[in-house]
A = this chain, B = another copy of it.
Amino acid sequence: MAPSTRERRTQPRLIVHTGDGKGKSTAAFGLGLRGWAQGWSIGVYQFVKSGKWATGERAAYAALADRHRTTGEGGPIEWHTMGAGWTWLRATEGLDQAELAREGWRHVADALAEQTHDLVILDEFTYPLANGWLEVDDVLATLAARPGTQHVVITGRRAPQALLDAADLITEMTKITHPFDQGARGQAGIEW
């Protein structure tokens, strides 16, 4: 039997933004605005090195989270970043990138099992997968087994084929023209 409209509309989505172009993370954070407006709980986990922390988006999300706390509008937002060490760890010194990635993924897996968020943004999560720090099969099994209607957005280059095969929606961002090619430098407000 065909699923009902309600069933179709509450299908949990696994969304991947990949490719060499810009806009992968930016589109994920833009998508989060929709979820926020729906009153969703949003969890952001950035699997990035220091210096790529999306400080502008984070400041805006912090303002939206505060809006929710003070007025009830929108939804709550948690933002965690591997770059500075996961916030739930007491000590992250001495841990290397791979260990931090595995610790981050354990936390995400727990959050998925507990249905902590309605939308989970795993920013630059393709890197620990592509680098072999995490087992792709294990990650995909955990994602496939997530209960409820939790949406997950994964961003980053070099998305493993198995992840693409598992995704409900993939957008590839392709660079056509980029001023960096002509020697221009990044600038505040545009690149971060």
Which positions in A face B, CB cutoff 8 Å?
2, 5, 8-11, 13, 15, 17, 19, 21-23, 25-31, 33-38, 40, 54-57, 59-61, 63-64, 66-67, 73-74, 118-119, 151, 164, 167-179, 183-192
CB contact under 8 A between A9 and B185, given known A151-B190, A179-B168: yes
Main secondary structure of the interface of A (DSSP, over half): mixed
* Copies of this protein chain in the complex: 2
Residues in B whose Cβ lies below 8 Å from that of A174: 19, 171-174
Contact (A56, B37) CB under 8 Å given A21-B171, A63-B67: yes
- A169/B40 in contact, CB under 8 A: no
Q: How far, in whole Å, are A145 and B11 apart by their CA atoms in the complex?
A: 47
Q: Which residue of B lies closest to A31 (CB)?
A: B26
Contacts of A151 in B (CB 8 A): 189-190
On chain B, the residues within 8 Å of A187 by CB distance are 8-11
Whether the Cβ atoms of A8 and B176 lie closer than 8 Å is no
A–B pairs, 16, beta carbons within 8 Å: A13-B179, A13-B190, A21-B171, A23-B171, A30-B31, A34-B54, A34-B60, A37-B60, A37-B189, A38-B188, A40-B189, A63-B67, A63-B74, A151-B190, A170-B175, A171-B176
Measured in the bound complex, the distance between the Cα atoms of B33 and A177 in whole Å is 22
